[in-house]
């Protein structure tokens, strides 16, 4: 289903949350490398559902090497609606409408921001890449149409690659962000071209049975499929969200 | 015991493993800030003993805010004598004599190197600093007289600070490494000046009852106390190590 575009089967580690962006990213990694997938549970509201998506996406993409790890720190630290039950996940009917908790360089950061989260994920992926002898770490970070998280911007990954260069034995592992400049609708189109298993993905921030359709993540996802002229194959709780 | 050198009680997070370097670092942080201490257990051989050191050092330094977290990833990933029971901790009677597993820019990296470990620790400390509103993260990394780990070099911390700047909400947290250019004997001298509780520290890589006296970490520590003209207050299993 995913073709081998390159003959060289160098190894790559891909961070796979189970959402649509990381699913497309994993499909790219699996097309071009012998991919190994890592998933981090960190006490987020939908962790059971995400883990199920991780396993089934790996099955479909034929990724055998898998690492499932629990991060206890992010839940203990809190400070986010995703990890602290005392902070509500805001409803959002338009991009950027999440309640901002801080302004940095004019960018409102929503309460769903998990402080410095992607550094935890990248640390795991780079450590594993070092042990596996992988040359790349794939992460499906996206800047446009995303939620305004500081750790989804290109400058963050440029800086992180300097850390990897300075702080690993060989200094040759590269963190790559193939989706970072893409709009969500373009990611849907790319995923359809790659036969990425969107039916197995989960993006909702707050529900695990059917996607809520009203959180930031659901709203961005639904809009992306609509703009790409495609049907989102996962079930939603609120039919209204599909036509919003 | 530790005086307040500054009147401003800004907050700082300090990474406290329980070893001599991090103990001196914590004493500095507690002198200059309202300090919060974080300890990460990661399946290393001496984790129980290190955790006891962490708690007792915090008690002595009157650090109330403490975060103890378990990192499951480093143990699962392995690749180090500290986390993989199948890789022996080498005996060492001189700095640099650990069995090298790789050469990077002429520096032999010993088998006690835990792949990309400090990025995991810094991620926790920076996330917590962001939630606490702390302005600094202290880490007791040391380059000279240390074991040649790539993530103990100044360029690593310079690069990491760029990641923190790009990847946090405010972008103002700074990772500081007050000991990085010091020789171990100087750290002992500084610790004695600060009344850092060396009697509560633990440095040995492989034993938890009495320090082995023969692993890299013990050898470096014993030499440091000897060069500083001071007595190491912790118990050693091998009396020979004291006079080596």
In this complex, do B115 and A131 lie within 8 Å of one another by their Cβ atoms?
yes
Least confident of A3-12, A88-97, B77-86: A88-97
**Of B73, B128, B131, Cβ closest to residue A127:** B73
Q: Would you state the pLDDT for residue B45?
A: 82
Q: What is the tens place of the pLDDT at every residue in B11-26?
A: 999 999 999 999 999 9
Nearest CA in chain B to A163: B159
Is the model's pLDDT at A101 over the cut of 60? no
Q: DSSP letters of A83-124? A: T-TTSPPPB-SSTT-SPEEEEETTEEEETTPPTTHHHHHHHH
Give me the pLDDT at residue A111, please: 85
Q: How far is B154 from chain A (nearest CA, A)?
A: 9
Task: Determine the average pLDDT of the residues in B120-127.
Answer: 97
In this structure, are residues B115 and B9 in contact, taking their beta carbons and an 8 Å threshold?
A: no
Distance from C-alpha of B134 to C-alpha of B124, rounded to nearest angstrom:
13
Q: Which of B74, B104, B169 sits opposite A170 (nearest CB)?
A: B104
pLDDT tens by residue, A223-241: 999 999 999 999 999 654 5
Decide: residue A217, CB within 10 A, 0-12 exposed, 13-18 middle, 19+ buried.
buried
Q: Which residue has the higher pLDDT, A148 or B179?
A: B179
- Can you tell me the distance from the alpha carbon of B137 to that of B122, in angstroms, rounded to the nearest whole number? 8
- Does B94 have pLDDT greater than 50? no
B78 or B102, higher pLDDT: B78
Instruction: Mark yes or no for CB contact B115/A109 under 8 Å.
Output: no
Q: Of A9-23, A41-55, B64-78, B103-117, which range is least confident? A: B103-117
At A218, the pLDDT band (50, 70, 90 cuts) reads very high
The answer, yes or no, to whether residue B240 has pLDDT greater than 80, is: no
Instruction: Report the pLDDT value the prediction gives residue B103, as an integer from 0 to 100.
Output: 34
Reduce the DSSP state of residue A179 to 3 states and report it. Answer: coil
Q: Which among A131, A225, A140 has a CA at the least distance from the CA of A175? A: A140
> A100 falls in which pLDDT band (50, 70, 90)?
very low
Q: What pLDDT is attached to residue A104? A: 43
Chain A residues with beta carbon closer than 8 angstroms to that of B109? 169
pLDDT single digits (tens) B205-229: 888 899 999 988 899 999 999 999 9
> Looking at A228-232, B57-61, B102-106, B118-122, which range is the least confident one?
B102-106
Tokens encoding A170: 């060989």
Partner residue opposite A167 with nearest CB, options B116, B128, B130: B116
Contact of A241 with A123, CB cutoff 8 Å = no
Q: What is the pLDDT of residues A146-202, one digit of tens each?
A: 667 888 999 999 999 999 999 999 889 999 999 999 999 999 999 999 999 999 999
Instruction: Please judge whether B120 and A118 are an interchain contact, meaning their C-beta atoms are less than 8 angstroms apart.
Output: no
CB contact under 8 A, A123 and B127: no
Taking 70 as the threshold, does the pLDDT of residue B243 lie above it?
Answer: no
**Average predicted confidence (pLDDT) for chain A:** 87
Instruction: Measure A239 CA to nearest chain B CA, in Å.
Output: 35
**Of residues B202 and A6, more confidently modeled:** B202
Share of chain A above pLDDT 70, in %: 86
Model confidence at B150: pLDDT above 80? yes
Instruction: Say if residue B119's pLDDT is above 60.
Output: yes
- Phi, psi (degrees; rounded to nearest 5) at A39: -130, 135
Cα Rg of chain B, angstroms: 17
Residues 6+ positions from A19 with CB-CB distance below 8 Å: A50, A53, A140, A201, A202, A203, A217
Choice between A100 and B237, residue whose per-residue pLDDT is larger: B237
pLDDT of residue B24: 98
CA proximity to A200, closest of A69, A29, A5, A26: A26
The pLDDT of residue A4 is above 50: no
A127–B74 CB contact, under 8 Å: yes
pLDDT score, position A244: 47
Lowest mean pLDDT, pick from A5-9, A101-105, A206-210, B27-31: A101-105
Answer yes or no: is pLDDT of B97 > 60: no
Catalogue all structural domains in chain B, each as residue range(s) with its CATH number. Answer: 11-243 (3.40.50.620)
For testing contact with chain B, the best of A65, A83, A115 (most B CBs within 10 A): A115
Report how far residue B171's alpha carbon sits from residue B146's, in angstroms, rounded to the nearest whole number. 30
pLDDT of A92:
65
Give the number of beta-carbon pairs within 8 Å between A and B.
167
CB-nearest to B156 from A70, A115, A166 is: A166
Q: Which of B105, B126, B151 sits opposite A167 (nearest CB)?
A: B151
Query: What residue has token string 């207050």?
Result: B233
Round the average pLDDT of chain B to a whole number and report it. 87
Best mutation target among A43, A72, A167 (most B Cβ atoms within 10 Å) is A167
A141: left (phi over 0), alpha (psi -120 to 50) or beta: beta
Rounded to an integer, the average pLDDT of A111-128 is 93
Q: Note the pTM of the prediction, 2 decimals.
A: 0.88
């Amino acid at each position: 289903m995913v073709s081998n575009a390159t003959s060289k089967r160098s190894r790559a580690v891909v961070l796979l949350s189970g959402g649509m962006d990381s699913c497309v990213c994993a499909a790219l990694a699996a097309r071009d490398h012998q991919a190994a997938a890592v998933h981090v549970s960190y006490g987020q509201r939908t962790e059971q559902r995400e883990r199920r998506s991780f396993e089934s996406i790996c099955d479909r993409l034929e990724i055998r090497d898998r690492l499932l790890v629990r991060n206890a720190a992010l839940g203990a630290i809190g400070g986010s609606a995703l990890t602290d039950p005392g902070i509500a996940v805001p409803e959002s009917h338009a991009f950027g409408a999440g309640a901002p908790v801080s302004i940095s360089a004019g960018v409102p950061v929503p309460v769903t921001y998990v402080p410095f989260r992607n550094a935890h994920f990248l640390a795991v992926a780079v450590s594993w890449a070092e042990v596996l002898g992988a040359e790349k770490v794939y992460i499906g970070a996206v800047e446009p149409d995303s939620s305004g998280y500081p750790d989804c911007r290109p400058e963050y990954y440029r800086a992180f690659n300097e850390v990897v260069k300075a702080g690993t034995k060989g200094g040759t592992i590269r963190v790559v962000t193939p989706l970072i400049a893409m709009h969500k609708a373009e990611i849907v189109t790319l995923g359809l071209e790659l036969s990425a298993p969107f039916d197995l993905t989960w993006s909702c921030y707050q529900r695990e049975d059917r996607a809520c359709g009203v959180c930031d993540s659901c709203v961005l996802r639904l809009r992306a499929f609509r703009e790409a002229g495609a049907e989102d194959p996962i079930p939603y709780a609120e039919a209204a969200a599909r036509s919003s």
